Structure 1
Amino acid sequence: MPPDFGDQDNCSVIGLAPAEQTAYELLIERPSATLADLDAAWSRPEPLAEVLAGLEERSLISREAGPPVRFQAASPAAAFGALFADYEEQLERARRHVAVLDAAYQAQPAVSDSASMVEVITGPRAVRQRWLQIERRARQSISCLAKPPYLSTAGGLAVGVLDSTNPREPDRDAVRRDLTWRTIYDRSAIKHPGSLAAVERSIQAGQLARVLPDLPISLWLADAKVAFLPLQRHTAAQDAIIVVHPSALLDALVSLFEGLWQRALPLHRPAPGQAEPDDTGRLGDDGDRLITLLLSGLTDEAIARQLGLSHRTVQRRVAALMANLGAHSRFQAGVRAALQQAPRWSAE
């Protein structure tokens, strides 16, 4: 069997085919090996002699006169060092060229053609790639309205994949520390079991989060200079988005987000070891969760799923909270409880 040096694609970036990488690694393990020695361990379909000839032509291996003829791998540092240096030089030239192009692009005056103000991107792959471009160019902030169909994150950084079933929030790795990341969650975003805990993990990672009962749209804003939102409202539209560039429309979307941010209820991650609200209706250290869920309009059953309690226990605690605060409705109880917490919440 050939030696296991890890991923067979490690050397593909410098033009080494998988068969060539396997043969080279065989010679690293078996210095000065004959063709018969190597053939005994060769399991790929490609003819070994042809693969060795290709490596020899590129000076990655050499042969020693026989009989029998023996093959020797060149030093990896010497063999690949020059290739790495060449690729790094090419990459640096490409970077400089892109910088020149970007400077020219940024220097151009805003185009007045209305068609240039809005892009329509279709197809999951194109949507994902466009979002990555936008997110990577952000320098100050990402602002999000999290409402179905969700502009999800996947595999780390947030990407433009529309997901109509689960709100995927930026996790510990996805929240870029150099950005201010603000998200307003729709009530539906925190009603599924475990979703509130996921939001709290995002908050711990650095996200500023708030909640409103009913958001008008799903939206992402990058530096308040570009907007990213679904083309259609229904959740089946998972492969088409609109990108809005500087314009009156973008200004309206930024104003919409800022207005909703001022109205939204801040979400907080409870500190470790905090207690849950007790049956007397007094707010325990975990009372923020109950307040948030009440103001979000969730049912007792949905609250029970989020807090990991029985339906009856939640009913009892909500009733006790209402009685303790002199509230005539669940929403009023949430408002009065939130007002009690206002000095701390206003810090956000």
Structure 2
Amino acid sequence: MPRDDLPFDPPMGLQALGLTAAEDAAYELVVDRPPSTVSQLAADWDRAEKLQPVLDGLEKLGLVRRSMLKAPTYAAVSPDIAIDTLLLDSEQQLHRARQYSDQLAGIYREQVARAGPGSVIEIVTGNRPIRQRLLQIRRSARSEVCYLAGPPDVDLGDGPSAGTFASGVSYRTIYDSAYVEQPEALADIEQLIQTGRQSRVLPKLPLKLYLCDGRLAVLPLQREPGTTPAIIIVHPSTLLDALGNLFEGLWQRALPLDLAGAGARTPENRSSVDDQRVIALLLSGLTDEAIARQLAVSYRTAQRRIASLIDRLGVHTRFQAGVRAALRDSPPTDH
């Protein structure tokens, strides 16, 4: 019977290393018993598969050993030895697969270059194919991902809740102010900034765009939600270069959402953290009502905070307050 006190998810177990679900369950069973015969183990075997062939498979993998007795018993090989061996084999196979993948990618790029203009643009339609293709692209990122979070309001799979990002990959995002105005958007963006993601904002973005390592660009084909889902994938070309230059130009014009320095909100630093958030929202061009919603305060409270910030910075307009504060470490606090 499977144990309930194992620290991993039983449905997965060692299947990530190539074991079948039956082999996984049988190894767990043997580990939890002293050397036992097949009939003794079978008393607690509740799967449809026959136990003997499964044990034979585990023996070939080096996970169990069989005694030479007339009635053979099965005992587990120490997991820290047996599983480490499987892990090493898997790592070597993954390394060889990565080398092979790199070779195929080189051949593919050469083929695309020879194929002519028709291979520059790839159109993917339908929700499931789009999700699959976007997942492939995100997982293939090696150095940098650049993202324009602009219109139209369609999902490119790289919003604040897109999941865990690849290790060692840098991320730069420019947000449209309308994006920042969405409920809880600032809190999500702040969390991403604290993980090292660079974020900036502009009052208006021309499009939604996803750039991966400067070798692929993804943008939505449809203008409005509700139409047939479709994306355009742009391969290496002058068009891809132009999209990359567009992002860099917008990045230079965009103002930073500098929330990383604020840290967690505590009674001791509440005033400075709130100022940082107000500054970010001012730079985003949000209205007082929208700022109040993001800060979870009343409209009058938001107005008072904005007026206090403008007064302390010695400026006359909301935009001047945001720009001046962005160019300084932090505004002076009230005492």
Report the TM range for the smaller structure's normalisation.
0.7 to 0.9
Aligned to 1:168: 160
Q: Is the 8 A contact 1:161 1:238 kept in 2?
A: no
Letter in 1 for 2:160: R
Distance in 2, matches of 1:298 and 1:313, equals 15
Aligned to 2:216: 226
Distance in 2, matches of 1:266 and 1:195, equals 16
Q: Are residues 186 and 79 of structure 1, via their aligned partners in 2, closer, same or farther at CA, if it must alter by over 3 Å?
A: closer
Q: Is the 8 A contact 1:119 1:243 kept in 2?
A: yes
1:313 to 301, 304, 309: 301
Distance in 2, matches of 1:209 and 1:80, equals 42
Distance in 1, matches of 2:321 and 2:295, equals 18
Q: Are residues 237 and 274 of structure 1, via their aligned partners in 2, closer, same or farther at CA, if it must alter by over 3 Å?
A: farther
1:191 to 168, 181, 194: 181
Aligned to 1:344: 328
Question: Which consecutive unaligned segments of at least 5 residues does structure 1 have?
Answer: 153-159, 277-283, 328-332
Aligned to 1:73: 75
SS in structure 1 of the partner of residue 303 of structure 2: helix
Distance in 1, matches of 2:35 and 2:157, equals 52
Q: Is the 8 A contact 1:27 1:71 kept in 2?
A: no
SS in structure 2 of the partner of residue 341 of structure 1: helix
Q: Is the 8 A contact 1:140 1:223 kept in 2?
A: yes
Distance in 2, matches of 1:339 and 1:81, equals 55
Matches within 5 A, 1:98-117: 98-106=101-109, 110-111=113-114, 113-117=116-120
What's the offset of the Cα at 1:314?
1.8
1:273-309 CA-partner distances (Å, limit 9, x unpaired): 5454xxxxxxx67434334423434232221121221
What's the offset of the Cα at 1:245?
1.9
Distance in 2, matches of 1:48 and 1:301, equals 67
Letter in 2 for 1:234: E
Aligned to 2:333: none
Q: TM-score, normalised by structure 2?
A: 0.75
Q: Is the 8 A contact 1:187 1:212 kept in 2?
A: yes
What's the offset of the Cα at 1:148?
4.7
SS in structure 2 of the partner of residue 110 of structure 1: helix
Distance in 2, matches of 1:81 and 1:224, equals 38
Aligned to 1:31: 34
Letter in 1 for 2:157: V
Q: Are residues 201 and 17 of structure 1, via their aligned partners in 2, closer, same or farther at CA, if it must alter by over 3 Å?
A: closer
1:3-58 CA-partner distances (Å, limit 9, x unpaired): 45543433335553322332333233223323443233222233445544665687
Q: TM-score, normalised by structure 1?
A: 0.73
What's the offset of the Cα at 1:105?
4.2
Aligned to 1:256: 246
Letter in 2 for 1:307: L
Distance in 2, matches of 1:215 and 1:189, equals 10
Letter in 2 for 1:73: A
Letter in 1 for 2:77: S
Q: Is the 8 A contact 1:127 1:161 kept in 2?
A: no
Root mean square deviation, CA, Å: 3.8
SS in structure 1 of the partner of residue 182 of structure 2: coil
Matches within 5 A, 1:207-286: 207-236=197-226, 239-269=229-259, 270-272=261-263, 273-276=268-271, 286=274
Aligned to 1:279: none
Identity of aligned residues (%): 44
Distance in 2, matches of 1:342 and 1:70, equals 75
Distance in 1, matches of 2:112 and 2:52, equals 60
Distance in 1, matches of 2:142 and 2:25, equals 43
Distance in 1, matches of 2:60 and 2:190, equals 58
Question: Which consecutive unaligned segments of at least 5 residues does structure 2 have?
Answer: 330-335
